[in-house]
Amino acid sequence: MPLLGAHESVAGGLHLAFDHIRDVGGAALQIFTRNQRQWKPKPVSEEEQKLFAAAWHEDPSMPVASHASYLVNLASGKEELAEKSITAFTDELQRCALLNIPLVVIHPGSHGGDGVAEGLARFTKNLDQALERADNQVIVLLETTAGQGTGLGSRFEELACIIANSKYPEKLGVCVDTCHIFAAGYDIRSQESYQATMAEFDKLVGIERIKFFHLNDSKKGLGSRVDRHEHIGQGEIGLEGFRNLLNDPRFANHPMTLETPKGKDLQEDRDNLAALRGLLAHSISS
């Protein structure tokens, strides 16, 4: 059974994210290790490390991933922004190592109008620099994107290009976001279209590269290239698309986290997780 969970807040302390994920009955967790709108956040303290480790020890089998700051753009053609991005992502990798978080998700960035090929080359070179500076074992997951504007990563070929040209392919995996691939034009709504999408990914990138999923329905239609998350089953993908993914035996043990809208009481997470588990239960019982 896939490990279903959610991205949870770290407001008040990194360790509190474990309380939130337990509160909603999740089995996988994604967090920001620091405010994603700050270039130079405080280092992780020894106290934070201890509290985080103790909270994780209550559910030691819980998979945890970090999501890199949205400020980071390793594909930028602006030298200052590129250097700030390398430094910030190096810091992220080092924070993850201190917290024993094995996975960090990152968007492949934006080429800013210079073209896909140029953007991919810059992203790969700058990613390699960050990996060299951090010099640890944290695995970087390239997130599939919707293809808005000059964003990279909406085509499987682009992810394959980054992995093929990196000096450290063994440190790279992929996080598949359902809303993003759908908005990018990859249909998963029918069993036939789902299998075709996964076959294309396997051919171009390799299915074994997928280490993590973001489960989000899409407010916008297939190929819209617009990134707008919706609650499970209430968007353009619909329940059947998620049924196809959840019951794919290749991903039976993969962590899959929600990034859907929610309020302070987290009821939306409970409802979305219940909707997802209902698809699994229905499939199994049938």
What values do phi and psi take at 214, rounded to 5?
-105, 120
For residue 147, is it within any domain? yes
In this model, does residue 285 exceed pLDDT 60? no
Is residue 230 flagged as an active site residue? no
Q: Check 158, 177, 217, 236 and give the catalytic one.
A: 177
C-beta of residue 238 within 8 angstroms of C-beta of residue 228: no
- Beta carbons within 10 angstroms of residue 92's beta carbon: 27
Q: Check 92, 143, 217, 236 and give the catalytic one.
A: 143
- If one counts the domains in the chain, the total is 1
Q: Which structural domain, as residue segments, surrounds residue 131?
A: 3-267
Q: Is 172 helix (H, G, I), strand (E, B) or coil?
A: strand
Q: Check 23, 58, 70, 282 and give the catalytic one.
A: 70
Is residue 231 flagged as an active site residue? no
Is residue 37 flagged as an active site residue? yes
d(CA 13, CA 9): 9
In this model, does residue 282 exceed pLDDT 70? no
For residue 276, is it within any domain? no
Is residue 227 flagged as an active site residue? yes
Percent of the chain having pLDDT more than 90? 96
Mean pLDDT of 10-19: 97
- The distance from CA 87 to its chain's CA centroid, rounded to whole angstroms, is 20
pLDDT tens-place string over residues 239-269: 999 999 999 999 999 999 999 999 999 999 9
Q: Check 19, 37, 47, 135 and give the catalytic one.
A: 37
Tell me what pLDDT residue 281 has. Answer: 53
User: Which of 237, 238, 219, 239 has the alpha carbon at shortest distance from 229?
Assistant: 219
Q: Check 227, 236, 254, 269 and give the catalytic one.
A: 227
pLDDT tens-place string over residues 133-182: 999 999 999 999 999 999 999 999 999 999 999 999 999 999 999 999 99
Is residue 259 flagged as an active site residue? yes
C-beta of residue 253 within 8 angstroms of C-beta of residue 3: yes
Tell me what pLDDT residue 286 has. Answer: 36
Is residue 177 flagged as an active site residue? yes
In this model, does residue 283 exceed pLDDT 70? no
In this model, does residue 284 exceed pLDDT 50? no
Q: Looking at the DSSP assignment, which residues form a beta bridge with residue 5?
A: 257
For residue 278, is it within any domain? no
Tell me what pLDDT residue 217 has. Answer: 98
Q: Work out the pLDDT band at 36, boundaries 50, 70, 90.
A: confident
Q: Check 230, 259, 268, 271 and give the catalytic one.
A: 259
Q: Check 180, 189, 209, 243 and give the catalytic one.
A: 180
For residue 143, is it within any domain? yes
For residue 283, is it within any domain? no
For residue 274, is it within any domain? no
C-beta of residue 51 within 8 angstroms of C-beta of residue 15: yes
For residue 164, is it within any domain? yes
Is residue 254 flagged as an active site residue? no
Mean pLDDT of 115-123: 98
Is residue 282 flagged as an active site residue? no
Is residue 180 flagged as an active site residue? yes
Q: Check 15, 20, 67, 111 and give the catalytic one.
A: 67
For residue 262, is it within any domain? yes
Is residue 143 flagged as an active site residue? yes
In this model, does residue 41 exceed pLDDT 80? yes
User: Which of 194, 106, 193, 212 has the alpha carbon at shortest distance from 152?
Assistant: 106
pLDDT tens-place string over residues 47-83: 999 999 999 999 999 999 999 999 999 999 999 999 9
What CATH code is carried by the domain that includes residue 108?
Answer: 3.20.20.150
Is residue 214 flagged as an active site residue? yes
In this model, does residue 275 exceed pLDDT 60? yes
C-beta of residue 67 within 8 angstroms of C-beta of residue 105: yes
Q: Work out the pLDDT band at 37, boundaries 50, 70, 90.
A: confident
pLDDT tens-place string over residues 172-214: 999 999 999 999 999 999 999 999 999 999 999 999 999 999 9
d(CA 65, CA 83): 24
